[in-house]
Amino acid sequence: MGNEILLMKNITKVYPNGIVANKDVNFSVNEGEIHALMGENGAGKSTLMKMLFGLETPEEGEIFINGKAIKIDSPTTAIKNGIGMVHQHFMLVPSLTIAENMVLGIEPRKNGFIDFKKAVAITEEISKKYNLIVDPEAKIEDLPVGMKQKVEILKALLRGAEILILDEPTAVLTPQETKELFEELVTLKEKGHTIIFISHKLKEIKEICDRITILRGGRSVGVHHVKDVTQEEISRLMVGRDVVLKIDKTPAKPKEIVLKVKEVNHIDVMGKNILNKISFFVREGEIVGIAGVEGNGQRELIELITGLDQYDEGSIVICDKEIRDLTIKQIRDLGISHISEDRMTYGVAEFASIEENIISDRFDNKDLNNKGLLKIRKIQSLVKQLIDDYKVKCDNGQQPVKMLSGGNIQKVVVAREFSSSPKIIIANQPTRGIDVGAIEFIYEKLIQLRDEGVGVLLISSDLNEVMELSDRLLVMYGGEVVASFEDSTKVTEEELGMYMLGIKKQVFEEKRRVENE
Amino acid sequence: MSNKKIETQFEIIRTFVAILMAMTLALLIILLVSKQPVDALTSFLTGPFSSIRRFGNVIEMTIPFVFSGLAVCVMFQAKQFNMIGEGAFYVGGVAASFIAVKFLLPAGIHPFAAILFGGVVGGLVGLLPGFLKVKWNANELVSSLMLNYVCLYLGLYMMKSTIRDPNAGMIGSYVFPETAMLKKILAGTRIHSGLFIAILFIALTYLFMYRTKWGYALRMTGLNESFAKYSGINTKRVIIYSQVIGGLIAGIGGATEILGMYQRFQWSALPGYGFDGIIIAILARNNPIFVPIAAFFLAYLRVGADIMARMTDVPSEVISAIQAIIIVLIAAKRFLAKWQHKRIIKNSQEKLAVKEG
């Protein structure tokens, strides 16, 4: 193992909205190693890497390359210092060829024109050197994902990258492509390059990484040699709980099944299997939590249940009705409420008023309009009532939603979704990015509704949240329910962590139970 | 003061600053090109008010502007950048002429039937880009621009093959019967009863947009389509009906214009009102209530420029420059934004201080 090639010392980053993304983080990488950077969503991995690549600037701290302090204020400076980054979402021009993409910004010229032959030659040369074989004249848009990633890596290498940052490179790859990528990474390592590998897939880290730095809540919680730590230890370090919001609730008294998902498959446009024969159910009067690292099919599952996307295989039944051919409106009329994880895209229209945002699911009802004419006074009194009930801090119902704080915007969403007398509530990351007061308020309301007999499906990557709120608990990993716990109080976070990261997997009882009922 | 009020105020100020800057530039151009700048300016600015007839010209021109402005408002509020207003206006005129020439109806009913038919045909034309968008995701901007030519030539063909007057000495229809024409309502001008139809449509469009469930669904779809869809609004239907209604209003505009201002149908090219509607809608911030003001203002500029061109050596094209600057400044969201932001911050801080103090 070589010398320390990169050192990020006492890095602190505060975003303008006050969120502390990194606090006194120390991150050190040796020459010629594959170093894993691990942590949950929001742990600060991306922020740290953005600062290294010059996309963000730290408030405090220093960055050393080969022992020399440098200031990285833009990606250009980062590239000059031998740092290359392969983003999760590829930065390639689809309509251009590989060679053209490779030389973008550093085009070889001849008589003032771009020398395409030279570009192809350059591409072939570097491709051979690193044994990353690509066809320089192929168009990017025709390539599979794995190939695009190769191009991204080559692009960084062509620009002289000594340190390569790979941001969750395997998230978009098939297992075969992943295998190939790993072989390529090992080759790169042998050629003396240093690789920073961001991931939360433990197995992969075990497979190819030398050392690992784990971040949690914006702080570094340890650097280890991968071979010296067990998967269990890593998982414990990564998902350990910090803040505990204790919630008082009585045991659930579940009744009839309101939501039944049976053997649903979903394949995305890239042909990747996102959901794999997933089955579970939710009953009246219980909160079923789905824990899991984001990107394991939760979002797609919710889109299918709420009608935002269509499923081909399997069945989803809400209140005894198969929803395959129903419109979103019809599904909502069955009694489903949906808090979207993406508040500003789905939850609200930010330029519309609070009032307009609250009536969006019910303006069509008889009591709010008379043959198409809106009953303004009725709407106003309804909205005023809801603003009071849900403690939305605002001037009045006419105020545009974008002028409220995140927590209050979420309260507007919750006010709408909880007041439509739902039979089942789909709460997807209901408390993400909002203040503690609003969080507690939403928890209380959820439990209150549960006690009134509403079924709740809670999806959250916040372990604390799912463990405290849920009556039953499921864990999703790789598009499957890998674990199911009848009593969420009997699960330890260590255990949950191992399921979330795919180290362990239960034999499927839940599926069988659904089929029996 | 609430931050919302600041925003409204700011929009008004921004509009006026934009107009002022554009006018200043026009003044500079006039000073540069004209040998009689004082005369040119006077006739440009005060010309439209110098006689009843000229003021009449302004109002006459305001009427079609109102319709095309309203049409664009409805479509733009749904975020449908549909340019079919132009074509719909044209075919609306053709359709109304057809009814006017081919049928013999009593005075009250004749224009009513003709205008209604013009609206229906305009609506059908508006349906096309909407349908293409929903069905095959064809960009409505492109398809409607192309369709405008289809409207022109198809409309012209229909006119020629059904109601053309071979003795007219030009490409035109038979003269409309007295019963079909809209009555003049002010002596010494050509202001016609279409003015009342325009006023009626301002009110109707406003009510539709802000007081009906369809208008609500339309606005929400325009503000955030994902949100509308998630809430259960049938956004495909909204996309279609917003463009049908836009086409309908433009069609009615064309019908009203032809029956109010002409003796016979004689448009052998697109009249341009549909595109003017975009200028008006932008000035009015897509709000039907402000459409008459914007329409009047544009008509005033056009008539003023016309008078200036006739009386002096400055060509009327000067107003194209004014229009362009106004549009650029108003459409540019960041124009004066810093100043607004500062005011909002100050306002919020003051509020906070009051709360704490």
- A343 interfacial to chain B (CB closer than 8 Å): no
A243 pLDDT above the threshold of 50: no
The sign of the CA dihedral A75, A77, A79, A82 is: negative
Judged by CB atoms closer than 8 Å, whether chains meet at A308 and B213 is answered as: no
A110 pLDDT above the threshold of 60: yes
Judged by CB atoms closer than 8 Å, whether chains meet at B216 and A373 is answered as: no
Say whether both A448 and A403 belong to one domain: no
Q: How many domains does chain A have?
A: 3
- A346 interfacial to chain B (CB closer than 8 Å): yes
Judged by CB atoms closer than 8 Å, whether chains meet at B230 and A308 is answered as: yes
Percent of chain A with pLDDT over 90: 35
Residue A353 lies in domain: 346-420
Say whether both A296 and A156 belong to one domain: no
Q: Which residues of A touch B216 (CB under 8 A)?
A: 356, 359, 363, 374
d(CA B9, CA B281): 18
Domain contains A325: yes
Domain contains A110: yes
- A376 interfacial to chain B (CB closer than 8 Å): yes
Judged by CB atoms closer than 8 Å, whether chains meet at B224 and A338 is answered as: no
Judged by CB atoms closer than 8 Å, whether chains meet at A352 and B223 is answered as: yes
Residue of A nearest to B217 (CA): A360
* Residues A247, A469 contacting (CB under 8 angstroms): yes
Q: Where are the beta strands (DSSP E) in A137-241?
A: 163-167, 194-198, 211-216, 219-225
A380-407 pLDDT, tens digit per residue, is 999 999 999 998 888 888 888 887 877 8
**Residue range A431-456: mean pLDDT, rounded:** 86
Judged by CB atoms closer than 8 Å, whether chains meet at B227 and A359 is answered as: no
Sheet with A20-30, edge to edge strand ranges: A20-30, A4-14, A60-65, A68-70
Q: How far is B100 from chain A (nearest CA, A)?
A: 34
Say whether both A273 and A416 belong to one domain: no
Judged by CB atoms closer than 8 Å, whether chains meet at A374 and B229 is answered as: no
Q: How far is A3 from chain B (nearest CA, A)?
A: 49
In which band, very low, low, confident or very high, does the pLDDT at A511 lie, cut at 50, 70 and 90? Answer: very low
Q: How far is A417 from chain B (nearest CA, A)?
A: 10
B37-67 pLDDT, tens digit per residue, is 888 888 888 888 989 999 999 999 999 999 9
**What does each C-alpha distance from B317 to A269, B68, B143, B325 come to in angstroms?**
52, 21, 29, 13
In which band, very low, low, confident or very high, does the pLDDT at B354 lie, cut at 50, 70 and 90? Answer: low
Cβ partners under 8 Å of residue A249, min gap 6: A447, A450
Residue of A nearest to B224 (CA): A349
Say whether both A192 and A268 belong to one domain: no
Say whether both A130 and A231 belong to one domain: yes
B87-110 pLDDT, tens digit per residue, is 999 999 999 999 988 888 888 888
The pLDDT score that the predictor gives to residue B126 is 92
Say whether both A473 and A387 belong to one domain: no
Domain contains A427: yes
Judged by CB atoms closer than 8 Å, whether chains meet at A308 and B3 is answered as: no
- Domain final residue pick, A420, A439, A462: A420
The pLDDT score that the predictor gives to residue A240 is 62
DSSP character at residue A353: B
Say whether both A42 and A187 belong to one domain: yes
Which of A87-91, A120-124, A163-167, A239-243 is the least confident region? A239-243
Domain contains A173: yes
**Higher pLDDT among residues A271 and A290, named by residue:** A290
Query: pTM higher than 0.95 for the full model?
Result: no
Judged by CB atoms closer than 8 Å, whether chains meet at B211 and A329 is answered as: no
**Residue range B295-301: mean pLDDT, rounded:** 91
Q: Which residues of A touch B3 (CB under 8 A)?
A: 403
B193-219 pLDDT, tens digit per residue, is 999 999 999 999 999 999 999 999 999
d(CA A81, CA A122): 21
Judged by CB atoms closer than 8 Å, whether chains meet at A328 and B223 is answered as: no
Say whether both A449 and A517 belong to one domain: yes
* Residues B26, B321 contacting (CB under 8 angstroms): yes
Q: Which residues of B touch A403 (CB under 8 A)?
A: 3-4
- A402 interfacial to chain B (CB closer than 8 Å): no
**Higher pLDDT among residues B276 and A41, named by residue:** B276
**Residue range B321-329: mean pLDDT, rounded:** 79
A435 pLDDT above the threshold of 80: no
Judged by CB atoms closer than 8 Å, whether chains meet at A363 and B217 is answered as: yes
Q: Which residues of B touch A360 (CB under 8 A)?
A: 220, 227-228, 231-233
Judged by CB atoms closer than 8 Å, whether chains meet at A328 and B229 is answered as: yes
Chain B residues with a Cβ under 8 Å from any Cβ in chain A = 2-4, 211-214, 216-217, 219-220, 223-224, 226-234
* Cα of B246 vs its chain's centroid, Å: 10
Tokens, residue A77? 């400076």
Q: Which residues of B touch A340 (CB under 8 A)?
A: 230
Say whether both A169 and A205 belong to one domain: yes
Q: Which residues of A touch B208 (CB under 8 A)?
A: none
Residue of A nearest to B213 (CA): A372
A113 pLDDT above the threshold of 80: yes
User: By three-state DSSP, how is residue A511 classified?
Assistant: helix
* Residues A44, A244 contacting (CB under 8 angstroms): no
Q: Which residues of B touch A364 (CB under 8 A)?
A: 213, 232
Judged by CB atoms closer than 8 Å, whether chains meet at B224 and A350 is answered as: yes
The pLDDT score that the predictor gives to residue B357 is 46
User: By three-state DSSP, how is residue A373 classified?
Assistant: strand
d(CA A258, CA B181): 64
Identify the burial level of A288 via C-beta atoms within 10 angstroms of its C-beta, where 0-12 means exposed, 13-18 middle and 19 or more buried: buried
**Higher pLDDT among residues A504 and B90, named by residue:** B90
Judged by CB atoms closer than 8 Å, whether chains meet at B223 and A306 is answered as: no
A514 pLDDT above the threshold of 70: no
* Residues A424, A335 contacting (CB under 8 angstroms): yes
Q: Which residues of B touch A347 (CB under 8 A)?
A: 227, 230
**Residue range A177-197: mean pLDDT, rounded:** 89
Say whether both A399 and A434 belong to one domain: no
Identify the burial level of B354 via C-beta atoms within 10 angstroms of its C-beta, where 0-12 means exposed, 13-18 middle and 19 or more buried: exposed
- A399 interfacial to chain B (CB closer than 8 Å): yes
Mutation site for B-interface testing, chosen from A340, A350, A362, A363 by largest number of B Cβ within 10 Å: A363
d(CA B201, CA B93): 17
- A310 interfacial to chain B (CB closer than 8 Å): no
Distance between start and end Cα atoms, chain A: 58
Percent of chain B with pLDDT over 70: 92
Please give the single-letter amino acid code of residue A272.
K
Does this complex have an ipTM over 0.85? no
d(CA B124, CA B84): 11
Say whether both A415 and A497 belong to one domain: no
In which band, very low, low, confident or very high, does the pLDDT at A294 lie, cut at 50, 70 and 90? Answer: confident
CATH (domain of A222): 3.40.50.300
Selecting from A340, A363, A399 the residue whose C-beta is nearest the C-beta of B213 gives A363
Judged by CB atoms closer than 8 Å, whether chains meet at B230 and A348 is answered as: no
Cβ partners under 8 Å of residue A137, min gap 6: A97, A98, A99, A120
Pairs of residues, one from chain A and one from chain B, whose beta carbons lie less than 8 Å apart: 79
The pLDDT score that the predictor gives to residue A269 is 74
Selecting from B213, B226, B232 the residue whose C-beta is nearest the C-beta of A332 gives B232
B111-155 pLDDT, tens digit per residue, is 899 999 999 999 999 999 999 999 998 888 999 999 999 999 999
B236-269 pLDDT, tens digit per residue, is 999 999 999 999 999 999 999 999 999 888 888 8
Judged by CB atoms closer than 8 Å, whether chains meet at A345 and B224 is answered as: yes
Domain contains A340: no
- Looking at the DSSP assignment, which residues form a beta bridge with residue A322? A317
**Higher pLDDT among residues B150 and B13, named by residue:** B150
Mutation site for B-interface testing, chosen from A374, A393, A409 by largest number of B Cβ within 10 Å: A374
Q: How far is A20 from chain B (nearest CA, A)?
A: 23
**Residue range B171-198: mean pLDDT, rounded:** 86
A218-234 pLDDT, tens digit per residue, is 888 889 998 888 877 88
Residue of B nearest to A347 (CA): B227
**Residue range B308-327: mean pLDDT, rounded:** 81
Residue of B nearest to A361 (CA): B231
- A358 interfacial to chain B (CB closer than 8 Å): no
d(CA B51, CA B174): 33
- Domain extents for chain B? 62-290
Buried b (16+ CB within 10 A) or exposed e, A389-421: ebebebeebebbbebbeebbbbbbbbbbbbbbe
Say whether both A30 and A111 belong to one domain: yes
Judged by CB atoms closer than 8 Å, whether chains meet at A356 and B220 is answered as: yes
d(CA A428, CA A406): 16
- For residue A209, give the nearest of A39, A32, A439 by alpha carbon: A32
Distance between start and end Cα atoms, chain B: 17
Domain contains A51: yes
Q: What is the 3-state secondary structure (H, E, C) of B126-194?
A: HHHHHHHHHHHCCCHHHHHHHHHHHHHHHHHHHHHHHHECCCCCCCCECCCCHHHCCCECCCCCCCECH
